[in-house]
């Protein structure tokens, strides 16, 4: 991806258009990034962003739901969407000869949804079924439980799907009110990458999105207050899924790459400490790892494992022990070098292909107001030192300020806190 070749245009209503044309290949990817995620919802509208995402596929004033699907298939395109805590993304990919139709489809869906009451009620049942699937997923319950503990006073800690009650109480009026606030020009980025004519795309985007209101609700994330605590979710699962979490960093925090290196060393790969010790040497778990999740104003760092009840005590103790060893003794030069190379490889390979480039441009512009070049990201990783990673370990691994979630055949919270505190050194 040649950063210097990115073309950017801001329409009068605030819509930002990013284009990176290429002479290679015969396809193009288009993604629309809307500043509408669950953290920007009112509590009584929890789940509305995800509900809207579903309704975008239920037809527009020009096309029925079937016509949307058939037209996308007729041009051999890919059309999909997803919702996160901070944005909604609608994306498509098509051959260069069919790009005008694909772009028309995606902009029609996002600016002109029908939101018919009959479709709305059908989709309510679909979303309630989706919530049921989520409730049967131990990994999802574990992470969601950790989030709702860490950020219990913020919508950042709320489930993206909503609750059974908020979905039951949802109305088309709530959807329309939310779209009027957040599906506006200043909160929309259109990113196009691949084989296309920039002038033709610019004209089509201007015609399709230029008439949207600018909007008067800025996309500003108020920092969510962190809370330590323990959340236990009793479910009849074969395994217990456990997660230990700590406050992390926001997207633009200068410590982000040091924490990324620490995350890789701790549990980000098959050569990581947690994988080698807990799975390969002790055989306490099949699934073990860690993750770092940055957001606009805050972030989190967590380690997790799925274990049988008989291995639960040993696994929790060993997780804590390995974290304490990292905090006390730091990382080795070999681990450090390997982790940086893994991170750089993931960046380079993750930016190969039109869809990945379109996503990188759109997400960066929406969340950061700028697009970081591949070279800048790699240079930032290269600049991380062993001392910075060791400082991150001491700063972020803090058992005076930890959160914990367990799902499965669980015991009381005092047992888990004792397991953690008895293993800390």
pLDDT tens digits for 165-195?
Answer: 999 999 999 999 999 999 999 999 999 999 9
Q: Give the model's pLDDT for residue 389.
A: 99
CB 384 within 8 A of CB 257: yes
Which stretch of 135-149, 384-398, 403-417 has the lowest confidence by average pLDDT? Answer: 403-417
DSSP label at residue 222: P
Does 229-423 match 3-209 at the fold level? yes
Q: Give the model's pLDDT for residue 411.
A: 81
CA–CA–CA angle 219, 221, 224 (5° rounding): 165
| Sequence-ordered list of residues with C-beta below 8 angstroms from that of 36, at least 6 positions apart, any chain | 49, 52, 83, 87, 88, 178, 179, 182, 183, 187
What band does 412 get if pLDDT is binned at 50, 70 and 90? Answer: confident
CA 241 to chain centre: 21
> Could you give the CA distance from residue 36 to residue 273 in angstroms, rounded to a whole number?
37
For the segment 68-85, the average pLDDT, to the nearest whole number, is 95
190's enclosing H/E stretch is: strand 188-194
Other Cβ atoms less than 10 A from the Cβ of 113: the count is 21
Higher pLDDT among residues 103 and 417, named by residue? 103
What band does 415 get if pLDDT is binned at 50, 70 and 90? Answer: confident
What band does 334 get if pLDDT is binned at 50, 70 and 90? Answer: very high
What band does 325 get if pLDDT is binned at 50, 70 and 90? Answer: very high
- The alpha helices in 151-268, defined as continuous H runs, are 164-168, 172-182, 198-209, 256-267
Q: Regarding the domain delimited by 229-423, which CATH topology (the fold level of the hierarchy) does it fall under?
A: Cytochrome Bc1 Complex; Chain A, domain 1 (3.30.830)
> Could you give the CA distance from residue 190 to residue 418 in angstroms, rounded to a whole number?
50
Among all residues, which ones are annotated catalytic?
Answer: 53
Q: Give the model's pLDDT for residue 408.
A: 96
Q: Where are the domains of the chain?
A: 3-209, 229-423
Mean pLDDT of the chain: 96
For the segment 256-269, the average pLDDT, to the nearest whole number, is 97
> Could you give the CA distance from residue 210 to residue 118 in angstroms, rounded to a whole number?
30
Q: CA nearest 72: which of 61, 85, 82, 63?
A: 63
Q: Give the model's pLDDT for residue 414.
A: 80
DSSP label at residue 212: S
At the top level of CATH, the class of 3-209 is: alpha beta
- The residue with tokens 């801001």 is 10
pLDDT tens digits for 33-53?
Answer: 999 999 999 999 999 999 999
- Structure token pair of residue 50: 């995800």
Helices H / strands E in the chain, number of each:
16, 11
For the segment 88-108, the average pLDDT, to the nearest whole number, is 97
Per DSSP, the residues of 14-33 read: S-EEEEEE-SSSSEEEEEEE
Q: CA nearest 377: which of 362, 365, 394, 360?
A: 360
Which stretch of 1-5, 41-45, 165-169, 372-376 has the lowest confidence by average pLDDT? Answer: 1-5
Looking at the chain, the whole-number percentage of residues with pLDDT higher than 90 is: 96
> Could you give the CA distance from residue 125 to residue 28 in angstroms, rounded to a whole number?
35
What residues form DSSP beta bridges with 289?
Answer: 304
For the segment 269-277, the average pLDDT, to the nearest whole number, is 96
Q: Give the model's pLDDT for residue 1.
A: 63
> Could you give the CA distance from residue 187 to residue 366 in angstroms, rounded to a whole number?
7
């Amino acid at each position: 991806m040649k950063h210097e070749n990115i073309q950017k245009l801001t329409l009068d209503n605030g819509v930002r258009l990013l284009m990176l044309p290429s002479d290679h290949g015969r396809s193009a990817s288009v993604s629309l990034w809307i500043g509408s995620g669950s953290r920007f919802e009112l509590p009584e509208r929890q789940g509305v962003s995800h509900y809207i995402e579903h309704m975008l596929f239920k037809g527009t004033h020009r096309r029925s739901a079937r016509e949307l699907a058939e037209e996308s298939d007729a041009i051999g395109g890919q059309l999909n969407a997803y919702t996160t805590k901070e944005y909604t993304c609608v994306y498509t990919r098509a051959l260069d000869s069919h790009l005008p139709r694909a772009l028309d489809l995606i902009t029609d869906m996002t600016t002109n949804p029908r939101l018919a009451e009959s479709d709305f009620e059908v989709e309510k049942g679909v979303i309630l079924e989706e919530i049921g699937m989520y409730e049967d997923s131990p990994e999802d319950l574990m992470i969601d439980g950790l989030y709702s503990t860490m950020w219990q006073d913020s919508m950042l800690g709320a489930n993206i799907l909503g609750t059974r009650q908020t979905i039951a109480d949802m109305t088309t009026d709530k959807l329309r009110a939310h779209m009027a606030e957040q599906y506006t020009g200043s909160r929309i980025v259109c990113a196009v990458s691949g084989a296309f004519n920039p002038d033709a795309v610019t004209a089509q985007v201007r015609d399709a999105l230029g008439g949207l209101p600018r909007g008067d609700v800025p996309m500003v994330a108020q920092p969510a207050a962190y809370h330590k605590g323990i959340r236990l979710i009793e479910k009849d699962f074969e395994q217990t899924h456990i997660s230990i979490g700590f406050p992390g960093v926001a997207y633009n925090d200068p410590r982000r790459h040091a924490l990324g290196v620490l995350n890789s060393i701790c549990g980000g790969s098959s050569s990581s400490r947690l994988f080698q010790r807990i799975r390969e040497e002790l055989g306490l778990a099949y699934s073990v790892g860690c993750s770092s999740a940055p957001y606009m104003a805050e972030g989190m760092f967590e380690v997790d494992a799925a274990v049988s009840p008989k291995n639960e005590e040993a696994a929790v103790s060993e997780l804590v022990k390995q974290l304490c060893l990292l905090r006390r003794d730091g990382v080795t030069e070999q681990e450090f070098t390997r982790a940086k190379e893994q991170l750089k490889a993931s960046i380079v390979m993750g930016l190969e292909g039109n869809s990945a480039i379109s996503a990188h441009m759109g997400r960066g512009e929406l969340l950061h107001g700028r697009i970081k070049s591949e070279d800048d990201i790699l240079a930032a990783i290269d600049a991380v030192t062993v001392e910075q990673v060791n400082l991150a370990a001491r700063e972020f691994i803090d058992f005076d300020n930890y959160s914990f979630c367990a799902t499965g055949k669980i015991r009381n919270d005092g047992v888990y806190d004792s397991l953690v505190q008895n293993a800390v050194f």
